[in-house]
Homo-oligomer: A and B are copies of this chain.
């Protein structure tokens, strides 16, 4: 990237912009874990707090757009500098979507009566990994660390494996007992939200890697998909290869 060419003021503005994106990410990361804890405990108040806090993520995205426009309007940034701003805007958009998925998990708390269903015990661990991926990919973004970004993408294989196991386990629960069908369907959507969070963190990892190295990470390992669904939901490569 053209960091070397940047005038200091622009560089500082861009770092501040990155900082706000990371602040968004911190809220989203926390929301994933808290939403899952609320679900496991059936804690409606904690779930409501997660839903309420998502507004803050949306406010930060709007703030980021305004700051981005301001710094693009001051001075005359080079195309490479503009690309950096556009990348920050794009990543902020992905973080907003991650916050949405966490909110969706929290919103689903009231409608889940799944005490009898075992795979719920896998979901908190899946949530922990997804949350760590969000944390680490934003560290990689702030530090422009391609290696850290690469490692985040590798972890997505574990999230897909969790999704596949949970998906299959839920199908068997549905088949065993029709009373499990409705709660299992809700759990299926919770697992899907976590799987999507992993995919979005992976998309960000690919953007960070490309921005730092100018090279694309190779194709994703999709071997982990065994449901015929998880792979359907793997996000597009941000560079459309």
Contacts and interface: CB of A to CB of B under 8 A. Distances in A.
A59 to B, nearest CB: 5
Interface residues of chain A: helix, strand, loop or mixed (majority): helix
Interface residues of A, number: 54
A240 B65 CA distance: 12
A73 B83 CA distance: 10
Contact of A79 (B69, B171, B185, B228): B69
A236 B171 contact: no
Interface in A170-196: 171, 174-175, 178, 181-182, 185-186, 188-189, 192
A89 interface: yes
Interface of A: 54-55, 57-59, 61-62, 65, 68-70, 72-73, 76-79, 82-83, 86, 89-90, 93, 96, 99-100, 103-104, 107-108, 110-111, 171, 174-175, 178, 181-182, 185-186, 188-189, 192, 228-229, 231-233, 235-237, 239-241
